[in-house]
Amino acid sequence: MSEKMKAVVAYGPEDYKVESVDIPKAGFEEVIIKIGACGICGSDMKAYHGASMFWGGENPWMKAPVIPGHEFFGTVVELGEGAAEKYDIQIGDRIITDQIKPCGKCRFCQSGQYWMCEVHDMYGFQGGIADGGMAEYMKIYNVSKIYKIPKELSLEEASIIEPLACAVHTVQRATIEYEDVVVLAGAGTLGLCMVQLIRLKTPKTLIVLDVSDERLAMAKKLGADITINPQKTDAISEVKALTQGYGCDVYIEATGSPIGVTQGLEMIRKLGRFVEFSVFGKETTTDWSVIGDRKELDIRGSHLGPYTYPVAIDLLKRKLVTADDIVVAQYPLEAFTEAFELALSGSVIKVLLVP
């Protein structure tokens, strides 16, 4: 194959270009994949528009120049020495890996909690260390875990494995019981994956909140019992009316908006479980006394998809979760600006770049 490839390269906020760059080479136990597709995530949009958590401070998360993209999968085209044996893969296999590139040495990696790696390099955010999938080819390093994608999964299904794995972890963190009233705030890609997963947990009632009626309709189709648009209805009053004034048992925040947090703290019952998933573009402030003194809430974070990729793949394979109507647009790398604009508009759910 050629020594060069096309890739989207990020130099700074709104300074992204399609360029011809060197195709990465596989070192010891490393793998090169030809990208099948790379999804555009909400965090990609926040990075593109210059959110401080990505570009600010003395040690910004984005290390430019970098090839962005962490929702990728691809086909093996090169295996470094030892990689075939380590991962039990061969040329031509479709594979995926976690979006984190763990160091393998810190206390978290050593204890099996690799998703909380202290170094915390992430594919698509640190150039030269962990370039991402908005390219024709990509390197998977020998500290990563690799998962095979069954042949029967479509491109659309394979493209939501990463967000679905994150959604699985979030729903696991919620420890949903049969009698729970669950409120999920946010019906984007992750939220719509969570709707399907929460439905499999068979709670008493699943309520989904979003400001898009189109996304709420999709949530209803995928299993929500009740949908509420907070811009049109007093969601807090509605949820309390549905729960004899107590509030929901579980609240999962997947909006990435500060109002999603403060709304949830008001909506949830005393001794409830609040699960925070989102990546925020700015700080959120609230009266913390509601967490302790007023309600004694169980606040749980959720980060990435540790050990959940096989679960996500299995659920897709068994048709218990669908990608239908979630992936709605595909663009070539050269049209990444149009793809970003469409993703940012909120008029569709998941947009893919397909080299």
Handedness of CA 103, 106, 109, 114 (dihedral sign): negative
Closest CA to 263 of 237, 283, 242, 241: 237
In this prediction, residue 218 carries a pLDDT of: 96
Domain that holds residue 140: 4-160+323-353
Neighbours of 231 (CB within 10 A): 10
Domain-embedded: residue 306: no
Apex 276 CA angle, 187 and 293, nearest 5: 130
Q: How many domains does the chain have?
A: 2
Residue 111 sits in the same domain as residue 199? no
144 pLDDT band, cuts 50/70/90, is very high
pLDDT in tens, 114-141: 999 999 999 999 999 999 999 999 999 9
Cα–Cα dist 274/297, whole Å: 7
Closest CA to 168 of 306, 261, 319: 306
Contact 142, 80 (CB under 8 A): yes
Amino acid at 77: V
Closest CA to 176 of 209, 195, 202, 207: 202
pLDDT in tens, 154-167: 999 999 999 999 99
Provide the token pair at 318: 């068994």
% of the chain exceeding 90 in pLDDT: 89
Provide the token pair at 283: 């700080």
- Angstrom CA distances, 170 to 62, 114, 116, 174, 208, stand at 25, 16, 15, 7, 15
Cα–Cα dist 37/10, whole Å: 18
**pLDDT mean over 299-328:** 96
52 pLDDT band, cuts 50/70/90, is confident
Domain-embedded: residue 308: no
Residue 151 sits in the same domain as residue 176? no
Residue 234 sits in the same domain as residue 259? yes
Cα–Cα dist 355/342, whole Å: 18
Residue 100 sits in the same domain as residue 53? yes
Apex 209 CA angle, 205 and 215, nearest 5: 110
User: 145: domain CATH number?
Assistant: 3.90.180.10
**pLDDT mean over 236-258:** 97
Residue 294 sits in the same domain as residue 188? yes
Residue 183 sits in the same domain as residue 279? yes
**pLDDT mean over 92-99:** 98
Domain-embedded: residue 27: yes
Residue 43 sits in the same domain as residue 56? yes
pLDDT in tens, 203-238: 999 999 999 999 999 999 999 999 999 999 999 999
Domain-embedded: residue 307: no
Residue 194 sits in the same domain as residue 250? yes
Domain-embedded: residue 226: yes
Contact 247, 240 (CB under 8 A): yes
Residue 235 sits in the same domain as residue 110? no
Residue 204 sits in the same domain as residue 78? no
User: 202: domain CATH number?
Assistant: 3.40.50.720
Domain-embedded: residue 30: yes
Cα–Cα dist 308/272, whole Å: 25
Cα–Cα dist 173/331, whole Å: 34
Domain-embedded: residue 310: no
Residue 289 sits in the same domain as residue 329? no
pTM of the predicted protein model:
0.95
Residue 57 has pLDDT above 80, yes or no: no
Half-sphere exposure for 164 (CA within 13 Å, toward CB): 26
Residue 8 sits in the same domain as residue 155? yes
Residue 55 has pLDDT above 90, yes or no: no
Helix (H), strand (E) at residue 186:
none
Could you tell me which residues are beta bridge partners of residue 322?
A: none
Domain-embedded: residue 318: no
Residue 1 has pLDDT above 70, yes or no: no
